[in-house]
Structure 1
Amino acid sequence: MTTVLARPSAVAAPARPEADAARRWRLLAVLAMLSLLLLWLGLMAGPSGLSWSGWLADLGSDQAALIVGEIRAPRTLGAWAVGALLGLAGALAQGLFRNPLADPYLLGTAAGAGLAVVLVLAGASLGGVAIGLATAQWLARLGIVLAAFVGALTGLLMTLALARGAHSPMRLLLSGVVVAVVLGAIGDLVTFVSPDALRGKQSFLLGSTGFLGWGSVAVLVAGFAVALPLARRYARALDALTLGEDSAASLGLDLPRIRLVLVGLLALTTGLAVSQAGLVAFVGLVAPHLVRRHAPAPQAFTMLASAAMGGVLLLAADVMARCVIAPQELPVGVLTAVLGGGYLMRLLSRQERE
């Protein structure tokens, strides 16, 4: 497997630091304005799509507090928070593995969450038939959201056990692939035994922001408030890793401990996002790409900007998902996969021509 190294801007000092700093501030300002615009559009998007008359009618109705305050507002804010967590997780994964093709789902977290959800659904439909149903019923008591989070952490722990810690990034990466394949196969076997769980599994795999409430927003925001400062605390270590393992070790860095902490943060951010919105594709992969393309910078800025970019991308996809075929909705994960995949195809095509 060929490893493509990212192009970190921390390796060489920029030729025009003032211009680069201004470029970064401009990117953050643009992302902030886009976030505000999309938050307003998210509040406006209703059964008739983006309609000014429909928006005014919603505000003037007796159900305005319910429609806007209890349904659209938490969904809109939650979609931004899920995207921010995925964007931060993508920056962590690409910095940790020094590979711009790394995404947040590499370490078995997505497969573990998917299997936990399938066990919950199978346990509810089979009502105690033996497929490890003691586990399934225990997960059912937790609920799908908590089960997905527990499953994501379980997938990560299996990956760490197979890789014997976080000493070798390559071994960690390969272990994540193996764990994902095994857990995915077990999930397929469970859905074969319990076909009723297939519909719920498909909904989870396609991703959805339609069930986000204020409780979800509180959990997502709290997780993001904890993860972002901790991740930026280790940003200099990731910058040092771009110089190579030996160079980073010569600076006195405890690389195994740093990798373990970063893997834990990656699991926390990914697990929270997956448990609340399912598997939303490409946001964590594309967001850091867009940041590095428009404002190359050290990891501390890349993490912050990638989080903001991820929030913008997922919220834009959520608004589109509600409006394209209104009053019906598209799964938001389908739109992110189409748009993110299209962007990467265009990028690869341009690089091939160059």
Structure 2
Amino acid sequence: MTVLRPGVARREAVLGTTLAVGLVLLALLSVGVGAYHIGTGDVVASVAHRIGFGGHRLDRVGESVLWDVRVPRVVLAVLVGASLGCAGALMQGVFGNPLAEPGVIGISSGAAVGAAGSIALGLGFAGNWTVTVCAFGAGLLTVLAVYGLSRSGGRTEVVTLVLTGIAVNAFAGAAIGLCVFYADNAQLTEITFWQLGSLSQATWPKVLAVLPCAAAGLAVAPFFARRLDLLALGERQARHLGVDVERMRLALIAVVALLTAAAVAVAGIVSFVGLVVPHLLRMAAGPGHRFLLPGSALGGAVVLVAADLAARTLAAPAELPLGVLTALVGSPFFFWLLRRTRGRQGGWA
């Protein structure tokens, strides 16, 4: 059992509470803002009425906009952001590398190839789950390939990891290009959605389709927190302390693939959330995974709800692609992180 110093526990509690309150406030703001404005008081009243705590119904248009368009979109943003944030924290713990992230090392692109391929080929073997299953399979194969190729001498090197990600992303881009070449107009529109990332097609069925994958991954991840802390001491030390390192890595690789596939299957490629959020939390609260894993899920949800709100409003009435927006913000952070890592290590080795 991990014993936390009072100062660390207090800092984690304050940060967790701040993120939770921020998420609630952002969600309330997001469901009200748009071409059809709904006041925060009306949002609260409608929610209270739905759950049986008084309040009142809105007019027919207001109820439809709120519950059929805005709320499923915000719920989907929470699920996708939480999945990507938690997946990023797990990747960094599994690889023992601060540069690991599903988008940077190609897992998101690999999952998108599975989704785009299923669309272009018109597959339907699993009904509404077909795209999710294909994204999961492709994401799992990608993460296994990255894991195998980035290992050298029993450890994962920064240069190997980044270069492997570049190669995987390039290959995935070519594969998606082939899907685009052979797709018809309707399929082309869907594939473009995967490449740019968006929550504009959010519906309750999509929320229900991704919920089991995201919930399973997010529920399993915290059980590995202590073992990830031990792994941070080094593989040999972790083994001496009773951790089956390879079995844990394989299990967490599957969890990361599940979380990433769940996100990609409904939102397309949304990069850098899993890189930025865990680092900000690690700077604020320390490296302990007991807080970092759930905190990254909560922080990822906050970031993606905020990013989706910005995507809907910055260029209104047009809508910015969500993946483009997160990449524009995340890329400078990644560059800073590369420089910081190089400066601390005295080189790229």
Could you tell me the TM-score, scaled by structure 2's length? 0.80
Q: 1:23 corresponds to which letter in structure 2? A: R
Q: 1:303 corresponds to which letter in structure 2? A: L
Report the alpha carbon displacement of residue 217 of structure 1 after superposing the two structures with TM.
2.5
For the 8 Å contact 2:111–2:260, the answer to whether it is kept is no
1:156 maps to 2:144: no
For the 8 Å contact 2:103–2:272, the answer to whether it is kept is no
1:223 maps to 2:207: no
Query: What is the aligned partner in structure 1 of residue 72 from structure 2?
Result: 74
Between the aligned partners of 2:126 and 2:235, the Cα distance in structure 1 is 42
Alignment of 1:1-354 (within 5 A): 17-47=5-35, 52=39, 60-105=58-103, 108-122=106-120, 136-137=121-122, 139-140=123-124, 142=126, 146-157=130-141, 160=144, 170=156, 180-194=169-183, 196=185, 197-345=187-335
Between the aligned partners of 1:34 and 1:281, the Cα distance in structure 2 is 22
Report the alpha carbon displacement of residue 297 of structure 1 after superposing the two structures with TM.
4.0
Structure 2 unmatched runs, 5+: 47-56, 345-349
Aligned-CA RMSD value: 3.5
For the 8 Å contact 2:311–2:322, the answer to whether it is kept is yes
For the 8 Å contact 1:160–1:166, the answer to whether it is kept is no
For the 8 Å contact 2:82–2:297, the answer to whether it is kept is yes
- Distance change in 2, residues 1:337/1:178 (3 Å): closer
More deviation in 307-316 or 333-342?
Answer: 333-342
More deviation in 298-307 or 344-353?
Answer: 344-353
Q: 1:276-317 CA distances to partner (integer Å, 9 max, x unpaired)? A: 111111111111011011111411210010010000000000
Between the aligned partners of 1:162 and 1:277, the Cα distance in structure 2 is 23
For the 8 Å contact 2:34–2:312, the answer to whether it is kept is yes
Report the alpha carbon displacement of residue 342 of structure 1 after superposing the two structures with TM.
3.7
Q: 1:311 corresponds to which letter in structure 2? A: A
Q: 1:76-121 CA distances to partner (integer Å, 9 max, x unpaired)? A: 1110111001000000001111111110236654233322333344
Q: 1:210-257 CA distances to partner (integer Å, 9 max, x unpaired)? A: 122223323444333322332111111111111111111111221111
Between the aligned partners of 2:257 and 2:181, the Cα distance in structure 1 is 29
Between the aligned partners of 1:344 and 1:155, the Cα distance in structure 2 is 22
Query: What is the aligned partner in structure 1 of residue 54 from structure 2?
Result: none
Q: 1:319 corresponds to which letter in structure 2? A: L
Alignment: residue pair count: 325
Provide the identity percentage. Answer: 36
Between the aligned partners of 1:119 and 1:85, the Cα distance in structure 2 is 23
Structure 1 unmatched runs, 5+: 1-9, 123-135
For the 8 Å contact 2:277–2:296, the answer to whether it is kept is yes
The secondary structure found in structure 1 opposite 2:315 is: coil
Q: 1:157 corresponds to which letter in structure 2? A: L
Could you tell me the TM-score, scaled by structure 1's length? 0.79
More deviation in 226-235 or 96-105?
Answer: 226-235
- Distance change in 2, residues 1:343/1:164 (3 Å): closer
Query: What is the aligned partner in structure 2 of residue 7 from structure 1?
Result: none
Q: 1:46-79 CA distances to partner (integer Å, 9 max, x unpaired)? A: 116x6759x79x9753222211011101111110
For the 8 Å contact 1:159–1:176, the answer to whether it is kept is no
Between the aligned partners of 2:107 and 2:11, the Cα distance in structure 1 is 35
The secondary structure found in structure 2 opposite 1:63 is: helix
More deviation in 321-330 or 193-202?
Answer: 193-202
